Amino acid sequence: MSIRTMVELGIERQQERTTPRATVVAGGNWGKSLDSAMERIVAFVPSEVIGIYVVGLGILSPESNAGKWWIFVISLLLIPVFMLLNYLGKKKSASPSETVTLPKKTTAVLFFFALVAFTAWAAALPATPFLSINRHATAAGGWSVLILTGIMYKVADLLDAVPKSH
């Protein structure tokens, strides 16, 4: 799922707290349900950053571990940039009567989960810089993606970081 969708989930959760349920469900423009297992598994994987990371590795083809680590760190630093841009875009496109807020707690949860999910996905890829730390990094990364994303959605729900109306 994209960072944009993660930000929209957080905003929608805040709207649920401040707006009667019928208004949020009827007036919400997000409209997707997170009921399917597949959507829950990828709910916190920042797809924009994964794409940039994979393309960076493909285009630059770094042979040194240092080059791979630089691409990883730059991609990691793009997560808050995309979160902020998506929040500002959502705020700009909102109608004047619509309140768009993203509480600090929700922002922190989404940001932390995006960092963890991206790191797990990056570790699972064949050209990962994590292979310089452990030769089993790709297997551990792939396994951790499945475990973490299965747990993250439930934890985010408990911390009020995803909408309950879906």
C-alpha dihedral, 116 to 117 to 119 to 121, nearest 10°: 160
pLDDT at 29: 42
Instruction: State the residue for tokens 């500002």.
Output: 88
pLDDT at 1: 55
Q: What is the block-wise mean pLDDT of the chain (166 residues), using blocks of 10 residues?
A: 65 63 43 50 77 92 95 96 88 82 84 90 92 94 85 84 58
Q: Spell out the domain ranges in the chain.
A: 3-18+37-158
- pTM here is 0.73
Interhelix angle 3-18/47-60, rounded to 10 degrees, is 170
pLDDT at 78: 95
